[in-house]
Amino acid sequence: MINQRLVTILGSALLLVGCTQQGTDLSSANNWTSSQKLGKVIAEISVAPARVGTNVITVKLDDDNGPVSGASINIGTSMPSMKMDGPDLTAQQISPGTYKVQSDLMQGPWQFDVSIKTPTGKTEKITVETDIVRSVASETDTK
């Protein structure tokens, strides 16, 4: 009885950990991209090049009918390990369903709190994290 209860508790804990981790970290393993389903909308968030300096944060929105245009996307940035807030960003639609914004990012772990208000007025929030790394020095930088 105790063993069965323990297995049930551990299984539930692992399930919760899997749910909270899934799709939240941007890394080289997933090409700095996370896709999450928000009701009927699928949001794909990416950061490139994920290196110190100017980065582009891209949000793509699709539903059953194709790209979702006319959304409002705001991104709060922070470096939780340093207890430091970064800039608040507003992504601009550059093509149907694709929104982009540029920001200069310093080295270290970053958190992006993405707020998406769809054309129907529904607001969804996604939090993603990534490590911004130092660029590899070119040969001319080392001479």
The tens digit of pLDDT for each residue in 33-46 reads 788 888 889 999 99
Assessment of whether the complete model's pTM goes beyond 0.85: no
Per-residue pLDDT tens digits for 79-116: 999 999 999 999 999 999 999 999 999 999 999 999 99
Percentage of the chain exceeding pLDDT 90: 58
Phi-psi region of 111 (alpha: psi -120 to 50; beta: other; left: phi over 0): beta
Three-class secondary structure of residue 65 per DSSP: coil
The pair phi, psi for residue 23, each rounded to 5°, is 75, 10
26-135: CATH topology = Immunoglobulin-like (2.60.40)
pLDDT of the residue at 31 = 59
Closest to 29 (Cα-Cα) out of 21, 19, 37, 38 = 21
Domain ranges across the chain: 26-135
Determine the Cα–Cα distance for residues 113 and 119; give it in Å rounded to an integer: 19
pLDDT of the residue at 9 = 35
Residues 18, 23, 24, 25: is their CA dihedral positive or negative?
positive
pLDDT of the residue at 100 = 98
Mean pLDDT throughout 43-68? 94
Report yes or no: 90 and 112 within 8 Å, Cβ to Cβ.
Answer: no
